[in-house]
Amino acid sequence: MSENGSFSDLEAIEKQALTDIESSGDAATLDAVRVQVLGKKGSLKQILRNLGGLTPEQRPLFGARANEVKEKVQAALDAARARFGAPAQNNKSGDPGADLTLPGNMPERGSRHPVRLVSARMIKIFASLGFEVADGPEVEDEWHNFTGLNIPADHIARDPSENFYLEDDLLMRSQTSTVQVRVMENTPPPLRIIAPGKVFRPDTVDAAHSYMFHQLEGLVVEEGMTFGHLKSTLLTFFQQLLQDDDMKLRLRPSFFPFTEPSAEVDLYWRGGWMEMGGCGMVDPNVLESVGIDPERWTGFAFGLGIERVTMASYNIPDIRYFTENDVRFLRQFS
Ligand code: DAH
């Protein structure tokens, strides 16, 4: 292009613009052409600022010709835009408008937390065995957390290093067994309840321990309950949960103040033994402390770690994954 405006330069601008419009493959490229030619600093504006090489007679002709080029280019742009399905530009601001052909932004969808998911599954299975869901407070008094459960005043489980004590005689409950006491206080037997919920202990956090985790407590108080009923209940539960004949259940002799006899609940699955919780026959002292006649009523109880059950179900190696809120982990359960 010569330094001063000339008719041949106008022709060149028009030709180039029409070729560029013809070959542009999308709305963005098209818009770039528009800015380059018709924009404030575009080639057409530029050339009209440089009319020094024209005679006074030529100038209006040149202006008219420039207008023609502008309209032709504008028409070609509109036609091409329609080709892409984008709205034609019909405002003076130069805003091409929203491109309705672009894909939308999908909102991120959350998913249920694995502990919630497994907890719901556990509740469903126990409900099919006749258990009702009960609830109790996370801030408890010492009576429901210890005394009512036959845990003596000098027992190590009451030690300040084992519990989150609050003011007065309150603490964050260290076990869901508290709900056993609360239910038996308020409801006469026969009873068949489960109580899922959070428990709190000042444990050092590692792959298997956390300061907060979930337990699912179970309690049955009926006439003539035996250790056989306890074992068959837990066995049926794990069989239904895991749907796998290679699973084994072992009740290993143990001690809890609120059950006699007591046992640890061990699960063998995928080649290894894992501890899932504790269980036993409700100690007569516990029944007496809530005014239930132990000569007539017998019961069994169990407490399962929901994180433990979840880790077994999904082969999760570390309890810390549950509270890290890493969506790469959580998304796998949607
Ligand atoms: N509460 C016990 C714990 O936190 C677990 C437990 C053991 C619950 C035996 C029970 C039971 O109901 O019978 O370790």
Q: Could you read off the pLDDT of 59-108 as tens digits, one per residue? A: 888 888 888 899 998 888 888 888 776 554 455 566 677 888 888 888 88
Query: Using CA positions, which residue lies closest to atom 8 of ligand 1?
Result: 303
In a domain, 256, yes or no: yes
Distance from residue 34's CA to the centre of ligand 1 (Å): 75
> How many domains, the chain?
2
φ, ψ of residue 86 to 5 degrees: the values are -85, 150
Are both 235 and 156 inside the same structural domain?
yes
Strand order in the sheet with 248-256: 132-133, 191-200, 212-222, 298-305, 272-282, 259-269, 248-256
pLDDT at 5 over 70: no
Q: How far is CA 14 from CA 25, 38, 60, in A?
A: 19, 11, 18
In a domain, 101, yes or no: no
Which has the closest alpha carbon to 313: 247, 251, 250, 258? 247
pLDDT at 115 over 70: yes
Whether 279 is in the pocket of ligand 1, judged by its Cβ within 6 Å, is: yes
Question: What letter represents residue 35's amino acid?
Answer: V
Distance from residue 280's CA to the centre of ligand 1 (Å): 8
pTM of the predicted protein model: 0.71
Are both 28 and 153 inside the same structural domain?
no
C-alpha span between 96 and 59 (Å, rounded): 32
Are both 282 and 174 inside the same structural domain?
yes
Are both 72 and 207 inside the same structural domain?
no
**CATH label of the domain that carries residue 328:** 3.30.930.10
**How does pLDDT run across 318-327, given as a tens digit for each residue?**
999 999 999 9
pLDDT of the residue at 25: 82
Pair of tokens at residue 133: 């869901």
Are both 120 and 172 inside the same structural domain?
yes
In a domain, 95, yes or no: no
SS3 letters across 152-220:
CCCCHHHCHHHCCECCCCEEECCCCHHHHHHHHHHCCCCEEEEEEEEEECCCCCCCCCCCEEEEEEEEE
Are both 60 and 190 inside the same structural domain?
no
Question: What letter represents residue 225's amino acid?
Answer: M
Which residue is listed with tokens 């007679």? 57
Are both 129 and 29 inside the same structural domain?
no
Are both 327 and 201 inside the same structural domain?
yes
Are both 274 and 146 inside the same structural domain?
yes
**How does pLDDT run across 149-202, given as a tens digit for each residue?**
999 999 999 999 999 999 999 999 999 999 999 999 999 999 999 999 999 999
Q: Which of 144, 162, 177, 265 to probe ligand 1 with, by most ligand atoms within 8 A of CB?
A: 177
pLDDT of the residue at 299: 98
Which one of 39, 66, 84 terminates a domain?
84
Are both 167 and 272 inside the same structural domain?
yes
C-alpha span between 141 and 165 (Å, rounded): 10
In a domain, 188, yes or no: yes
Distance from residue 259's CA to the centre of ligand 1 (Å): 8
Pairing of strands 212-222, 191-200: antiparallel
pLDDT of the residue at 332: 94
Residue 75 is part of which domain span? 3-84
Pair 217, 194: CB distance under 8 Å: yes
Q: What is the mean pLDDT of residues 270-285?
A: 97
Which one of 84, 101, 132 terminates a domain?
84
Closest ligand 1 atom to Cα of 176: 1
Are both 181 and 296 inside the same structural domain?
yes
In a domain, 163, yes or no: yes
Closest ligand 1 atom to Cα of 277: 5
Are both 34 and 128 inside the same structural domain?
no
In a domain, 109, yes or no: no
pLDDT of the residue at 60: 86
In a domain, 93, yes or no: no
Helix (H) or strand (E) holding 248: strand 248-256
In a domain, 201, yes or no: yes
